[in-house]
Each structure stands twice: as C-alpha cells, then as structure tokens.
Structure 1
Amino acid sequence: MSKEAGFFNLSINKIITDEHSQMDVARVRLLYYGLWLVFGTVSIVFINLYFQHKAVLTSVGGAVLLSIAILFKYLTWKPDWKFVSHALLVIGSLINLIDVFIIFQRVDVVTVQLVLIIVIFSYYMLGPKWGMLYSLMNLVPVVIFMIYAYNNIYIIDFKPQRLDQPTIIISVLGNFILLVFIHNHFYQAFITNIRQLKKNSHEQKRLNTVLESAIDKAEKSSQAKSEFLSTMSHEIRTPLNAVIGMTNLLMMGNPRNDQKENLEILKFSANNLLAIVNDVLDFNKIESGKIVFENIRFNLTELMGNICGGQIIKANEKGLNFVLDVDPRLNQRIIIGDPTRITQIIFNLVSNAIKFTQQGQIQVIVELVEDRHDRATISFAVRDTGIGIERENLDAIFEPFTQESITTTRQYGGTGLGLAIVKRLLELKGVQMQVSSKPGEGSAFTFNMEFPVSTEKPVEKPKTTVPTQEQVADQNNLSHLNVLVAEDNSVNTMLMKKLFSKWHLKSSFAENGERAIEQVQYGNFDIILMDLQMPVMNGFDAAMEIRKLEDPKKANTPIIALTASALIDIREKVFSSGMNDYVSKPFKPDELKEKILNLVGDDTLIK
C-alpha cells in the first residue's frame, strides 16, 4: 500500500506502488474503473426500478449499490485486490442464484451474461483454482434449475418478478459493456506484459553480454594482477637476494664491531622489505582462493617453540617479558594439520604484539580444551600489554592494507596485511577469532581450532651434542663437490662465487639453460642449481632436457631450482619439470647448504 493513500483517498495513483507487478497493476485498474462502470449501470437500473415501484428489485439494487460503494472505498484505502475480487464474486454469485431461483425463476440473457462475467472475472483476477470454483458455483445451480424447469417440477411459493423492456435493455447493454471492458483491459495488459517481457528479455541478453564481458575483464584483470605481483616479486627479490646475500657474506667474514652493527642494520632493513613483499604475495594467494592446506603430522609443542624462538629474542631486545605457555598434555600428542599456515597465523599475531608493545609482556598460551580419541580442540591466545585498540576500530584492523589509524601507520610502519592474512586463513578453516582490547592496556587475540590426532606415538629424538670447532669447519668444507649454477644475473653469479669459495666448493656457471645443458653433457657435476627465468632457454625446459640425456648418471643429477618467482603453482611446476627441490630467493646460506647435502647424500656432513 502506498504511504500517501489514506481513508479519504479516491485516486488510483496513490494505491499503485512499485511493488505491484504488471498484472497486479492491471487487476487494480480493472477493479477501480470496473466498479465505476458497475456502479453507474446499477444506479440507472435502480432509479428505473424505483420509479416503477418494484420494492423487491429496488431493495436488491440498493444493496448492490451500497456494497459496490463500500468495496470501492476499501480498494482506494487498502488496495487489497484479492479481497475485493472475492467479495465481488461472492456478491455476484448470490445475486445470480437469488435471481434464478427466487426473484425471476428463469434463465434469461441477463443471467447468462452474469454467469459469463463471473467466469471470466474469476479466472482473470484469481487464477484457475478460484476460477474453477466460482464457475462451478454459478454454472451447476443454473443447469440444475434449467433441468427442473424443463420438467415443470420446480415450485416455490414466491411470485416471480418481471422487468420491463427498457430495464432489460439497460442491463444487457451494461453487461456487454462490462464484458468488453474486462476482455479489452486484460488483452491490453497481456500485450503490454508480453512486450515488457520481450523488452526485458532483450535487456537481460544485453546485461548478460555486459556481465560476461565484465567477468572476462575481471578474470583478465585478476590474472594480470597475479602476473604483475609475480613479476614484481621476481624483480624485487632478485636484487634483495644480492643485498641479503652479500650482507650474510660480509657478516661471515668476522667484521669489526662497528661494521657488524652497520651490517645488522642493513640486513634488518632488507628483511623488513622482504617481509612486506611476502605479505602482499601471501594475501594475493589467499584472495585468489588457491591456498591449499596440507595435512601433515607434527608436534604442536615443538612447532610453537620454533615459532616463538626468534620472537622471544626480539621481545627481549625491546625489554619485554615473553611467556610461552603450552599445555603439557600436548607434549606427547601428534596432531595432523598444516604447520606452515599455523606458523603464519601465530607469527603474525606475535609480531604485531611485539611491534605495538613498548613495555610489559607478551603471552602466548596454547591450551587443550577438548581431548577426544581421534580429535582435539586447541585454544590459541596471544596477549600483550601494548597500545590497545579502540572498540570502533576492531573491525577495521582486519581489513587489508589498513591499520587502526594513520598515526599508527606512521609510528609503527607495516603494510596492514598481517591481521588480514590471519583472518582469511582462519576463515578458510571455518574458524572465527575473538578480539578483546582496551586502549592503553593491551589486546588479546584468541581462537579455537580442531585437529585430527594421530594415534602413533612420537619417536623420541636422540640427544644432540654441541658440535666442536673442527666439526663446524668440516661442515663448511664442501671441496669434494662440483656444482653447476645456471644463472643469468651477474650480481647473483658473483654472490654465489663468493659463497662457494667460503665452502671450498668447486663451481661452474652457465648464463642460460642451453649453456647449462651443454656443460652437463661435457662435464661431471654432483648437483645443479637452476635459475628459472633465463634468456634463450628457461630453467624448466633446461631441467626437462637434462632428464632426457642418454647418460643415466648425468640425466639423474640432482637439480635445485633457484626462484624469485611468486607464482602460486611454482612448487608443482618445479617438480613436474623433473627438479628435485627449490630454494626461494633471497635464500639463507644454511638452507641452501642443507638442501645440497641432503640431495648428494653426504650424511656425514649434516650431523
């Protein structure tokens, strides 16, 4: 109902709203104008009967006029066209039956017209179900009356009334006008509806075309964004590899204290830049929906110790007390999940806590809240005594590239992606995080996660002894190995040469994949380090060609991919091309050395 329509409203424009469909508008209009038409016809008949002094027919006409006036007023106040339609059909059916069985006691042209009006009106207004009901209510009694009248067995103690010819003509004419009006009105409504549907169909096709084009553009845009981020990653990581690598080399050369301090600042800044790049790339992976969670057996107590080990040092450097409290019941439990993603979640939460806390303590609490035979629900909580968060800003801190305020960004730095990554990862696992915080007092981030539990008992690790200086020196001596490096970047080549000289490792270099294949054919190498993006021939194609060599020893030479790429499926591409492992640039020297020794099988050097 329109908000403008009131009890004294008589306008049709105030009772038709945007909520009405095309057919409903046609029904309301039919009732509005149809009631005027019926009221006019019945008024003429009523006046004619009144002056003829036909009391019974005048009373019936007056009752009909009053009913029509009431229904018209109701329609213009509350446009409930269904109720008004039912009321009109009931009144029409009663008039029809009273006229046939009592007043006129015959079936004439007016009766037939009235039955036709009821049948057509009921179907158009209320549909087949009600149309059939009202049609039978009028047709069946009329047919029964005709059968009784034909056999002359219908007798009722009431003298039938008769209409004069002018009244009959007025009634017949009014009924015909009403029939034509109903048919014409709904014919126009149907034609308008069909045209509208056709127009909507064309518009829908146009919108579908526009939508398909928009989806195609969005997909291309998303792909372009991923490719741009991958390229950006490669272009930033490549010089970062040189910066961090050279810094590591200089720090390995026993620098003076003042030099060491400068190198540590340089390394810290480079690692911060790398962390920002990694945050952007991780968020892109999550947003693209291509994150796949692994199911690996691991000990949560050990994992938490590894995650918080470096963070404890950071906290202590700021004068903060760091408390890691892991439920002792988890010491001997092996759970199944994705330790990489758990590390990412906890690391981001703890890093934020340390960043925004100037004094006090950081608490990381891991508690086993529900322990079943094959599943365990574990609660994680990271609490700090930092700057806290205003209540109205609690939702904003989880939005990407957003921090609580611009002041926070300027004072503490960062991309604002850490908590966004945490939230998205938890949501992908169906987990909600609760945050409680008071400005100036600190914040607490908590969530519960359910893990499958392995029934295998953890294997106790043998006690390790501290290596002697001779053993450490022996680990840095890789003179028995001959490595081939396929790398087109001259700075990275120089970095590798300097690093390998410290390991006493024999090395050869190829500037592209094609030269690498040639050197493998004519030389003997224990391992190959393969850059992926090179001119002439890339690392993937070069690795596949090496695997096709006739000499099985050369064809099976271990290959480690060196990549600065951030493509989501880089791992699959590396292994599908026949390479054994990969190291992301910028790499840690110890990580590269460990992978080399693992692949060449020299166990004595990694103990």
Structure 2
Amino acid sequence: MLCANIIKGGLYLYDAVINHANNGSGRAIRLMVSSALIILLLRKFPRIVPWGIHYAVIATIAHVYYRVFTPSVGPDIVAMQAIFMVILSSFFGLGKKWGTFYTLISAASVILVHYIPSKFAGLQPLPQNLSDLYISVNWLVILLSCFYFYGVLYENMRASKLLNVQLAEAADAKSNFLSTMSHELRTPLNSVIGIAGLLKSDYTNVQQREQLDVLKFSAESLLTLINNILDINKMQSGKLELESTSFSLELLLNGIAKGMEFNAQEKGLKFNLSVNNQIKGKNFISDPTRLSQVLYNLIGNAVKFTEHGEVTLSTEVEQSDASYITVRFNVTDTGIGISDDQLKLVFEPFQQATASTTRKFGGTGLGLAIVKQLVEMFGSQIWAESQLGKGTKFHFSIRLQLDKQKLPDTQGSAPEVAEISLSSLRILLAEDNMMNIYFMKQLFKRWNISADIAENGAEVLDLLATNDYDVVLMDMHMPVMDGVQATQEIRKLTNPLKATVYIIALTASVSDQVQKRVISAGMNDYLQKPFQLEELRIKLEQRLVTPEIT
C-alpha cells in the first residue's frame, strides 16, 4: 500500500501539473514523501511495523472519506478498492479487533455521506486514462496482498502439519525409548529382587536379613520410580485407561493395610485402618489396580514424612443407592506437614514441598502427580489439608458401582490351603539373560522343578520337537527368534498337543503394544518382570489344578 501510494501520488502530481496548474501538487508530494519515509523507517526498524500499518490504514481511511465526501468524486470504485485494502491490511496485519474497528469506520463512509451535509471541494477527478491506471494500481495492490496473505496462511498451515508430524514422531520415539529403557532396567531388577527374596528366606542371621531387606527395598524403590515415569508418560500420551472388574473393596483395603503396616512398624509408627460397615461384604465394579496405586502412593508418602505418631487409612460413605455407593477415602498422618504455599505445588510433577524435603526424604515428586491424574480419571478430585509440624490429610471420593451379579465375600479372606507341589510340572524356560537364568534355576530348585532352558526362540522349537511340556515360560526379547515369533511358530505345529502348549509371556516391557502382541500371538498368560515369586507360583499351581485350560 505504501509503495502504491508513491505511484498514485505521482499520478496525482502529473494531473495537477498538466491539468490543474499545480493545484493539488502539494498534497501529491506530501503523499509520496511521507510514504517513502515510512517505508525507510519500517525497513530500518522492523519492530514498528504495526505502527506503520496503523498509519497506512488511517491514511487510506482518510483518503476514502475525502473521496466519498467530494461531490465531484463520491463513493466510486476507487473508494471501494480503498475500503477493501483497509479490510485486508487491518485484519491480517493488526488482528481481528483492529480489523473490525477499521472496517466499520471505513465502510461507514458510504452510508454517512447521505446524512452529513458538509462536503470537500479540493479533490479533482482524474482523467479517464489516469483513472484507469490508478484503478489498475489498486487492483494490483489487492492482488499482491491476497497472494501474500494466502502464501503466509497456507505456509503456516503446512508448517503446523509438519510440526504435528514431528511432535507425533517425537512422542513415539519417547515412548519407544522409555519402553526400551524400562525393559533394560527391569530385566536385571528381576534377578536382583528375586535372588534377594530367595536369600532372605535362607538366612537366619539377623544382620544378613537386614542387609537383604535394604537390598530388596532399594531395588523395589528403583522399580517404583520406573513405574511412575512410565505412568506419567502414558497419561500424557492418553494411553492409560481404567479397567472395569469386580472386586471386594474390603479385601483390597485389608490387603493394602497389611502391606503398609510393616513399613509403618519399621519406623515405629502405628498404622490404623477404618472400613465403613456399609462397604463390608460388598463387591464393586471399577479398577482395583489403579485404586490400589493411589492408596499405596498416599500411604507411602504419609509413612515417609512421618517420624512419630501414626498413619490412618479410613473410609466414609457419602451417598448410596441401589446401584452406587460414593466412598470417601482419607489418608491422615502426624508428620511434618506442608505449608499453605507449598500445598499448591505438591500435585505438580517433579515437585516436592521444599528442596530440603527432597534432600532428607528423597523421591522425585512423581507420586502425587500420578495420584491426582488417576483420581481425575475416576471422575473425582483429590484434596489436601495440612498444618506444619502437625500432619497432613489427603482425601478424595469415588462413586463405585455395586456388583449385583457376584455374591459378596463375607469371609474377609480366602481360607488357607496346603501348598501344591510343583515337582510334576514339565517346564521349558525361554530366557537369554544369564542372571535371570541363574535366578530361575535357583527358584525351580526350591520348588523341586526340573526345567529345560532355551536361550532363543529357535531353541524353543527344537526342544519342543523332542519333548513334551506343560508350561513354556517365554521371554519376549530374545536373539535369533523372539518370543512372539516363537509362539506363532508353535501354534502352527501339526501335533495338537505341542501346538496348544500353555505359554506364559515373561517380559520387562510394559507398553500397551507389547500386551496386545502377547494376546494376538496366541500366548495364554502374561507376567511382568520383575514379578513376585508368589505370582508365578500361583499361575503354575493353577496350571496343575486346571491342565485342560489352553
């Protein structure tokens, strides 16, 4: 527009000199000089470009009014072109607020001219040839403006699409990296935690058992950190979903209490559990795993930050009807407390109350961030109340659906049964990590199991061709042929006994894609490393009790 003003000013100057004895030449020169100066200033000081656009738009609006209110000119095509240039420049150069403002002012000229009597007389219409040239210059400005803004708009759209693709690739790369690192960290942790558990049951020396407790606790703390990082990643990528399964809330709370009571007693703390009577003897449909994770995190924090006194887990029934019960969960401690300012930060990732808290008690601050997001996934919010030096209380409420199809377990716990001998099981272990092989051999020896070992999928097929097995414990990541490929080949065997052998996947990977691959490959069960010894034993005992399951 400014460059075009120089050209149009030249046309007016030529007309003033040739046809009007220099009348109006001063106005034409001022237009040319001012436009040239503004162009130079904008090139030298790019930051003032918005002010330059304001100047150009205001000058164009003034020109519109000058033309429209000159009887010999009026609201002609040039005025319409100028109004359109105001719309383009103000909207694309200054934004919708200024665009709307300047558009209304400029467009009002063609209406106001019919109601305001005052008129200008200084503007003379150009001759036809100069008028056509003037109009052509305006059309050229409009065309170039549309071309420029079109290019900017679609270039930004293309850049946005490219950025979205790059962000998606980066997110996938991050997920793959975390999944790989999880596998590489979980694999040695499986043997560390497992062997520590075996040694702990062998040693009777108190000092040695304490040292093994420290070893096992440190390894499990590292595992918790890995799990927290993976959960945060899943939540941020929207891949974490709640399950719906039937469970006894009373048994779940009792189990959590038994597990956390030991941790509290180690610090000399008293742990209290209070279960509302309306909850007892009822089964609910929700996600017990994630609910347990929330409570374990809250109680674990309470125990960590309490030096003296007690930690309490209690439940209250806020609302109930024939189908749903709204349960409020309270975790209260007599610990160090949190200041009002720091309460605003405790649910943020990687945040703790103070730097001194991190140094004294450790931790990354991920636990409460995960708790907050999980509680929100349950359709609720978590609240914190605290006083420095007196303790903290976390509470949240969840609306739980009653399970009417399943009879409530009124016994409180399952009756103890005699341990089943596993010595008759024929097991093939597919594992390539030497430390895990050593650990599993020690575990099998304790359970009187004689197992064959294959270090890759090809060896699994070779051993299966010459031997019969009740269970194949299949590691997912192996050289030559991985666990998924080996399973797919097993399911293709012509011998029905061998083709339907019971396969339990053992893997340190925890991504949703890996679990889907386990199912689609035809494996029967899944066990995540590091696993508790009893978890594996239960699955093997079930195989003995119900061998027909495939």
Specify the TM-score bucket, using the shorter chain as the normaliser.
0.7 to 0.9
Go from structure 1 to structure 2 and tell me whether the alpha carbon gap of 1:321 and 1:34 turns closer, same or farther (over 3 Å shift): same
TM-score relative to the length of structure 1 = 0.70
SS at match of 1:587: coil
Is the contact between residue 387 and residue 442 of structure 1 (CA under 8 Å) also seen in structure 2?
yes
Matched residues in 2 for 1:525 and 1:275: separation?
35
String of CA shifts for 1:482-501, please: whole Å, max 9, x gaps: 11111111221111111111
Provide the residue aligned with 1:441 in structure 2: 390
Is the contact between residue 328 and residue 398 of structure 2 (CA under 8 Å) also seen in structure 1?
yes
1:422 equivalent to 2:371? Answer yes
Matched residues in 2 for 1:204 and 1:312: separation?
62
Provide the residue aligned with 1:490 in structure 2: 434
String of CA shifts for 1:16-57, please: whole Å, max 9, x gaps: x999998x9877435534666799999xxxxxxxxxxxxxxx
Is the contact between residue 248 and residue 409 of structure 2 (CA under 8 Å) also seen in structure 1?
no
Provide the residue aligned with 2:13 in structure 1: none
Is the contact between residue 377 and residue 449 of structure 1 (CA under 8 Å) also seen in structure 2?
yes
Q: How far 1:329 sits from its partner (Å)?
A: 0.6
Match of 1:595 among 536, 539, 546: 539
Tell me which amino acid in the other structure corresponds to 2:157.
N
Provide the residue aligned with 2:505 in structure 1: 561
Matched residues in 2 for 1:451 and 1:86: separation?
62
How many percent identity over aligned positions?
Answer: 35
Is the contact between residue 531 and residue 561 of structure 1 (CA under 8 Å) also seen in structure 2?
yes
Is the contact between residue 347 and residue 369 of structure 2 (CA under 8 Å) also seen in structure 1?
yes
Provide the residue aligned with 2:451 in structure 1: 507
1:551 equivalent to 2:500? Answer no
Matched residues in 2 for 1:182 and 1:381: separation?
82
Alignment of 1:172-571 (within 5 A): 174=123, 176=125, 191-456=140-405, 458-460=407-409, 471-472=418-419, 475=420, 477-571=421-515
The aligned length equals 474
String of CA shifts for 1:104-127, please: whole Å, max 9, x gaps: xxxxxxxxxx9xxxxxxxxxxxxx
Tell me which amino acid in the other structure corresponds to 2:182.
S
- Which is worse superposed, 181-190 or 494-503? 181-190
Q: How far 1:268 sits from its partner (Å)?
A: 1.3
Provide the residue aligned with 2:29 in structure 1: none
String of CA shifts for 1:187-232, please: whole Å, max 9, x gaps: 8666545433321221223223322332222222211111111111
Is the contact between residue 435 and residue 445 of structure 1 (CA under 8 Å) also seen in structure 2?
yes
Matched residues in 1 for 2:249 and 2:139: separation?
70
Tell me which amino acid in the other structure corresponds to 2:432.
D
String of CA shifts for 1:249-301, please: whole Å, max 9, x gaps: 21232442222222112111111111111111122222221112111122212
Go from structure 1 to structure 2 and tell me whether the alpha carbon gap of 1:33 and 1:551 turns closer, same or farther (over 3 Å shift): closer
- Which is worse superposed, 497-506 or 179-188? 179-188
Matched residues in 1 for 2:381 and 2:263: separation?
28
Matched residues in 2 for 1:184 and 1:583: separation?
82
Matched residues in 2 for 1:182 and 1:333: separation?
90
Provide the residue aligned with 2:22 in structure 1: none
Go from structure 1 to structure 2 and tell me whether the alpha carbon gap of 1:459 and 1:91 turns closer, same or farther (over 3 Å shift): closer
Matched residues in 2 for 1:182 and 1:444: separation?
81
Is the contact between residue 26 and residue 189 of structure 1 (CA under 8 Å) also seen in structure 2?
no
Provide the residue aligned with 1:122 in structure 2: none
Tell me which amino acid in the other structure corresponds to 1:598.
Q
Q: How far 1:337 sits from its partner (Å)?
A: 0.8
Matched residues in 2 for 1:323 and 1:495: separation?
37
SS at match of 2:506: strand
SS at match of 1:569: helix
Provide the residue aligned with 2:62 in structure 1: 32
Go from structure 1 to structure 2 and tell me whether the alpha carbon gap of 1:592 and 1:20 turns closer, same or farther (over 3 Å shift): same
Go from structure 1 to structure 2 and tell me whether the alpha carbon gap of 1:406 and 1:184 turns closer, same or farther (over 3 Å shift): farther
Is the contact between residue 431 and residue 449 of structure 1 (CA under 8 Å) also seen in structure 2?
yes
Matched residues in 2 for 1:554 and 1:251: separation?
38
Tell me which amino acid in the other structure corresponds to 1:332.
G
Is the contact between residue 68 and residue 113 of structure 2 (CA under 8 Å) also seen in structure 1?
no
Is the contact between residue 282 and residue 409 of structure 2 (CA under 8 Å) also seen in structure 1?
no
String of CA shifts for 1:296-337, please: whole Å, max 9, x gaps: 122212211112221122112212222222221111332211
Is the contact between residue 243 and residue 286 of structure 2 (CA under 8 Å) also seen in structure 1?
yes
Matched residues in 1 for 2:322 and 2:479: separation?
56
Matched residues in 1 for 2:474 and 2:206: separation?
36
Matched residues in 2 for 1:393 and 1:257: separation?
41
SS at match of 2:459: helix
SS at match of 1:341: helix
Alignment of 1:26-105 (within 5 A): 28-33=58-63, 82=104, 89=111, 92-93=114-115, 95=117
Larger radius of gyration: 1
Is the contact between residue 527 and residue 557 of structure 1 (CA under 8 Å) also seen in structure 2?
yes
Go from structure 1 to structure 2 and tell me whether the alpha carbon gap of 1:448 and 1:185 turns closer, same or farther (over 3 Å shift): farther
Matched residues in 2 for 1:366 and 1:181: separation?
88
Is the contact between residue 179 and residue 510 of structure 2 (CA under 8 Å) also seen in structure 1?
yes
Matched residues in 2 for 1:551 and 1:81: separation?
82
- Which is worse superposed, 446-455 or 527-536? 446-455
Go from structure 1 to structure 2 and tell me whether the alpha carbon gap of 1:19 and 1:480 turns closer, same or farther (over 3 Å shift): same
Is the contact between residue 334 and residue 453 of structure 1 (CA under 8 Å) also seen in structure 2?
yes
Go from structure 1 to structure 2 and tell me whether the alpha carbon gap of 1:337 and 1:25 turns closer, same or farther (over 3 Å shift): farther
Go from structure 1 to structure 2 and tell me whether the alpha carbon gap of 1:430 and 1:28 turns closer, same or farther (over 3 Å shift): farther
TM-score relative to the length of structure 2 = 0.77
The gaps in structure 2 that reach 5 residues or longer are: 1-33, 39-47, 73-100
Go from structure 1 to structure 2 and tell me whether the alpha carbon gap of 1:37 and 1:87 turns closer, same or farther (over 3 Å shift): closer
SS at match of 1:330: coil
